[in-house]
Amino acid sequence: MAFWFSNSDNRDTKVNGLLNSFRTPFWREKHRWFFRCRWNQSSIANLGSLYTLPGIIDELDDSPENRFESTCPDNNISHDLYDRVRIFKYWSEQTNLCPDFMVSYPKFRDIHHLKIKLPFNDNLWKFVSTLNQLNKLDVTMDEGSTYSQLQTLIDQAPHLYSLSIAYLYDLPITPSTFTITNASIRRVEFLPPISFYTKYMNKGKCMAFANSPLGRQCEVLILHLETHTFVIDLIKKMPKLRSLTFMCQGDRWKGISQFETKNNIIQWLRENNLPSSVSIIDSNQSSFI
């Protein structure tokens, strides 16, 4: 159950009042049902949640502003609860981790989707005991990031299907990006977290990726291109490719509307003798094709 804080609320008081209604013998002794609240101390995060234990927590992050309180005796939570976490966000420059985590470092043993910023510190392994179930990895590269650390992380994920790489600030897409290897990856995204930092790939980088181990096994690719003329080369060079989604920088600042630009690109692609197995779909909800 979700609930909202008003700007005038004392959050600790409101949470305790809510949980006190479930600290009665009816819930704790007769039915042995326990409840937990999760909320954020940030003034801009007004949403809290209340759920029964054990419960299915789909997503959790390591933010130091997260707070948890339960009706369990001494607020102790069985680690079985954390076995239900499927998505974990680890923003590792935060040294002041969530207080609940600092006490016992719960182990997440069934993570399917990891969101992480590089470089990360070794505290990650205090939370994550295994990445055997990981199938989606979203990586944000910050200053000081190394691809050797990313490769080390990927090596722990034998069933990884999707890899998304984003870049903060004006960090370049370097050749090291295309040396990453993992036999199970089939989906690759080069997408920025903020449109201002969009990375448009030139022909040299497109061909470097297409000829890399990841490019040769990639089936689904999403990226930004300097110009649509690279599309033909990518289709021809990537033998396993079955879906390519792209946005082009070309003509963006030349007074041509997004609608006209996309139509021109689609027409150009259709005139360039693409294999009969290739179909072109206009993503009407965005600038992507």
Is the pLDDT at 185 greater than 80? The verdict is yes
pLDDT for 1: 74
All structural domains of the chain: 131-289 (3.80.10)
pLDDT for 60: 58
pLDDT for 104: 47
DSSP codes, 187-234: EEEE--SSGGG---B-HHHHHHHHTSHHHHH-SEEEEEES-TTHHHHH
Is the pLDDT at 233 greater than 90? The verdict is no
* pLDDT tens digits along 25-49: 888 888 778 877 777 766 566 777 7
What is the reported pTM?
0.71
* pLDDT tens digits along 87-146: 888 875 554 444 444 444 557 778 899 999 888 888 788 778 889 999 999 998 888 888
- Provide the edge-to-edge strand list for the sheet that holds 243-248: 59-61, 87-90, 113-118, 136-141, 162-167, 187-190, 220-225, 243-248
Segment 74-95 mean pLDDT? 63
